[in-house]
Structure 1
Amino acid sequence: MRTKIILFITLLLSLNILVGQSRLERKQLKEEKSQKEYLQVKEVIESDTYEFNIVWVLPMGGTSINVNGDGYLVKITSDSIQTYLPYFGRVYSGVGYGTESGISFESELEDFQVTVNDDKKKIEIGLTTNTTNENIEMVITIFKNGSCHITLQSMHRSTISYSGKLVSKTLLL
């Protein structure tokens, strides 16, 4: 009887070691996948032409609004930006009331800065641009899996945020 108990305990311990190795292997595979995704995202950002499809609008003091599939985007090239974004918030002065149904413009980039943080596996883009009516500041944070968070500030509107996904023909996330 004692040998059966020892054999059973030995079997359980060896099974536990096998399961433990499997967890370690899964963790390593997950880390490798994460690193591969991050390198793809980094490569797209270095290509100087990319766009972000907007999925959620996050107005200040309001509830999140799903706009997936409505075609809202931010497109950045090496010297310009094109946006087609919804706006839900307070408009102060200087912007024609009722003339636009969101934030839609195409203009040159003035203050453009890309900060890469390899430790946290995220990229931050800061930019400033002028439209005919207002000066707009944007901060775009891109995470390792290609998801992004965009914060838009203007002197004439309340701050608004968007979340979405980085898209590119070469990105396979």
Structure 2
Amino acid sequence: MKAIKNILVAATLLIAVQANAQTDKETTIKVINNQHYVFNATSAMPMANNDVNRVLSRMPGGAGGGMIQLSGSQYQLIVTKDSVESYLPYYGRAYTATMNPDDAGIKFKSKKFTYKAEKKKKGSWLISMNFKDTKDTQSMILNVSENGYATLSVNSNNRQSITFNGFISEPKEKKK
């Protein structure tokens, strides 16, 4: 299991390195230190199994249990000092069904959570969040490069893990 996770993280980082920078280094450092940023998901990678592969191969552009492009979407994770708000899709196997079909994705707002940001070698960050007031999602691990590219791993008791690729940015000011 740990080897699969390491392979997924390595593959994600290789893909992210090939693209252009999303944010400059100063902005990345500032938003992480202030704990005030938005993770914008651009693709999702569900854990592959036969059931998921069958469904994904029927989707437009789907070649089986690989990456699902989320371009044109507004899927994001908003992190502030006092809350974490998630609006992300979910692809994969759920071990318990939800009673409300609107709860199909990874949607929640948490005010009771632990947050740990650790600076790694070469300027990257490893951010772990554990939630105490959400019914499904237990933890998230966010790996952020110094250019703002990020990989988000979502772990749950009731669903298979899923990984998202994307970038972090400063939150946009709300219009009054």
- 1:7-156 equivalent positions in 2, closer than 5 A: 37-61=24-48, 62-93=65-96, 95-96=98-99, 98-117=101-120, 119-156=121-158
TM-superposed CA distance for 1:131, in Å, is 4.4
What SS class does the counterpart of residue 151 from structure 2 fall into? strand
TM-score normalised by the chain length of structure 2: 0.69
Structure showing the higher strand proportion among its residues: 1
Q: Is the 8 A contact 1:95 1:156 kept in 2?
A: no
Return the offset for 1:109.
Answer: 4.0
1:133-159 Cα shifts (integer Å, max 9, x gaps): 224200000001101000000000000
Whole-angstrom CA distance in 2 between matches of 1:103 and 1:70: 15
Task: For structure 1, list consecutive stretches of 5 or more residues without a partner in the other structure.
Answer: 1-33
User: CA contact under 8 A between 1:109 and 1:127: conserved in structure 2?
Assistant: no
Q: CA deviation at 1:95?
A: 4.0
Give 2:101's aligned amino acid: G
Which aligned runs of 4 or more in structure 1 are off by greater than 4 angstroms?
none
RMSD: 2.2
What is the CA–CA distance in structure 1 between the aligned matches of 2:136 and 2:39, rounded to whole Å? 22
CA deviations on 1:66-117 (whole Å, 9 max, x unpaired) are 1122100000000210000000000002743734231111111422101012
Comparing 78-87 with 119-128, which one deviates more in the overlay? Answer: 119-128
Q: How far off is 1:40 after superposition?
A: 2.7
> What is the distance in 2 between the residues matched to 1:72 and 1:88?
13
Distance 2:133 2:98 in 1: 11
Structure with larger Rg: 1
In structure 2, what is the Cα distance between the partners aligned to 1:169 and 1:106? 16
Q: Normalising to structure 1: TM-score of the pair?
A: 0.70
Q: Residue 98 of structure 2 contacts residue 104 of structure 2 at CA under 8 Å; is this kept in 1?
A: no
Across the two proteins, how many residue pairs are aligned to each other? Answer: 135
| Equivalent pair of 1:94/1:133 in contact (CA under 8 Å) | no
Aligned identity (percent) is 26
Distance 1:109 1:122, change over 3 A: farther
CA distance in 2, matches of 1:135, 1:166: 20
Larger relative contact order (CA 8 Å, sep ≥ 6): 2
Q: How far has the Cα of 1:169 moved from its partner? A: 5.8
The residue matched to 1:53 in structure 2 has which SS?
strand
